[in-house]
């Protein structure tokens, strides 16, 4: 068997068997064939597609290309949550401690931000002293002892994906659904979870900009995960505006703590409770989603969720006092309040552009090795559908310099559109996808 033979078969639109798919994934992980053959194979898959069975085999082969975490020493059903990426999406830092406080273990491996999307690890590292690079033994022990850990993925996790992802980025094959599915699920399955809740974003700040494409991606993710033996549900959530009001690493941690402290409500809280409810449902901790959400709300009101976050921070070497005093988080030297300076209604946002505005301030990175400034970002004080006047607070900028603040102000104003006529508020959820079908919520 050669890579050329496999490539020829897929080029003609024929389905590949397990042995051929494993050869492809193994060749990528070991870099035993030239990049140009791997790239040609990616394009053949992009143009010819893959069956569900092929996609499942590719997912499993990519999972098995490296180390697979063994979470069996942790009692209970381990449920993972994955988001396809967005702006102001701090759900993990809200729902992980809440779900753990309700008795379901959360053993989560997360990633860093790149481009306009934020990364959970970067947000966590804005907490003084906190480390995300735990050994597997430390990771397992922490979940057994306190019920929750959020750490970085090791380099040995699904190495085939690392190689293929980099090639997809430079070969215009990023939008291939079989390749997206296998990339996401290979890492989730390698992380050792028993069940998965997927948050598939749609809108101006998402990979999939339109609802139909997002639903199609979610269907494929659920089908393949189910074929792999993992109970999975996917929710399609809106990314036509930042999920939270805070954008930037320390700022997003501050908002998560404010929610767990009961000081803040809003869309981030609603989405976190909804996703967390499905995690508890799959973990067998509740019989209905409504019952699960009620459990989370009780953990929120009692302070158990905030206490669990403080325990996790302390266990990973961070300063748990941030849960009582958010001013201990990094703070930017320049903080500037700006106003709407016009009347009307907030009608639309370019969420990707808002994410890039924060990135250009130093909150994100264009390349994986770029440094970031934990303190910078902004707090957006308007939502789609709001009526505003010239003196309505628009945004608080947190910047390194006045020049950075002025550039960010121009970019943010350009990304937010107004109209003279009232408009509907953006919906948080548009569909639920399970193995039994699609429930539209739009």
Active site residues: 82, 161, 168, 183, 187
Q: How far is CA 35 from CA 3, 168, 185, 407, in A?
A: 11, 11, 23, 40
CA 193 to chain centre: 16
d(CA 122, CA 119): 5
d(CA 98, CA 88): 19
d(CA 126, CA 362): 13
Decide: 232 and 196 in contact? Cβ < 8 Å: yes
Decide: 126 and 318 in contact? Cβ < 8 Å: no
CA atoms within 13 A on the CB side of 55: 27
Q: For residue 135, what are the contacts with CB-CB under 8 A and spacing of at least 6?
A: none
3-state secondary structure of 287: coil
3-state secondary structure of 331: coil
Decide: 6 and 41 in contact? Cβ < 8 Å: yes
3-state secondary structure of 369: coil
CA 131 to chain centre: 19
Torsion on CA atoms 383, 384, 387, 393, rounded to nearest 10: 30
Q: For residue 331, what are the contacts with CB-CB under 8 A and spacing of at least 6?
A: 250, 375, 398
Decide: 57 and 187 in contact? Cβ < 8 Å: no
Strand order in the sheet with 429-434: 79-83, 195-202, 232-238, 429-434, 437-440
Pairing of the two strands 437-440 and 429-434: antiparallel
Closest C-alpha among 298, 319, 320 to residue 308: 320
């Amino acid at each position: 068997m050669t890579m050329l033979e496999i490539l020829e078969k897929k080029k003609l639109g024929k389905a590949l068997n397990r042995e051929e798919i494993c050869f492809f994934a193994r060749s990528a992980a070991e870099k035993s064939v030239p990049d140009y053959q791997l790239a040609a194979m990616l394009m053949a898959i992009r143009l010819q597609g893959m069956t569900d069975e092929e996609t499942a085999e590719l997912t499993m082969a990519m999972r098995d290309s490296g180390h697979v975490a063994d979470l069996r020493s942790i009692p209970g059903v381990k449920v993972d949550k994955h988001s396809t990426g967005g702006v102001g999406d701090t759900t993990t830092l809200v729902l992980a401690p809440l779900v753990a406080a309700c008795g379901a273990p959360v053993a989560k491996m997360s990633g860093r931000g790149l481009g306009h999307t934020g990364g959970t690890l970067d947000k966590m590292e804005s907490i003084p002293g906190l480390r995300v690079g735990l050994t597997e033994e430390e990771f397992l022990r922490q979940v057994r002892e306190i019920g929750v850990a959020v750490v970085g993925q090791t380099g040995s996790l699904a190495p085939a994906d690392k190689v293929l992802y980099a090639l997809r980025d430079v070969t215009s094959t990023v939008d291939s659904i079989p390749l997206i599915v296998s990339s996401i699920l290979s890492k989730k399955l390698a992380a050792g979870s028993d069940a998965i809740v997927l948050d598939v974003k749609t809108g101006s700040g998402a990979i999939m900009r339109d609802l139909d494409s997002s639903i199609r991606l979610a269907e494929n993710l659920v089908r393949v995960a189910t074929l792999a033996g993992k109970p999975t549900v996917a929710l399609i959530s809106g990314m036509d505006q930042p999920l939270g009001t805070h954008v930037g690493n320390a700022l997003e941690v501050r908002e998560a703590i404010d929610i767990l402290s009961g000081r803040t409500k809003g869309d981030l809280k609603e989405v976190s409770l909804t996703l967390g409810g499905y995690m508890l449902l799959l973990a067998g901790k509740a019989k209905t989603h409504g019952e699960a959400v009620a459990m989370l709300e009780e953990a929120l009101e009692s302070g158990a969720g905030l206490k669990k976050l403080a325990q996790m921070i302390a266990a990973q070497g961070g300063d748990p006092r941030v849960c009582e005093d958010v001013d201990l988080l990094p703070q930017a030297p320049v903080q500037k309040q700006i106003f709407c300076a016009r009347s009307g209604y907030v009608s639309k946002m370019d969420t990707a552009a808002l994410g890039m505005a924060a990135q250009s301030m130093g909150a994100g990175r264009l390349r994986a090795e770029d440094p970031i400034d934990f303190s910078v970002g902004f707090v957006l004080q308007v939502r789609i559908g709001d009526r505003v006047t010239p003196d309505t607070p628009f945004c608080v900028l947190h910047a390194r310099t006045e020049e950075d603040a002025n550039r960010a102000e121009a970019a943010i104003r350009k990304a937010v559109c107004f109209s003279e006529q009232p408009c509907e508020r953006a919906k948080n959820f548009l569909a639920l996808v399970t193995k039994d079908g699609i429930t539209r919520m739009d």
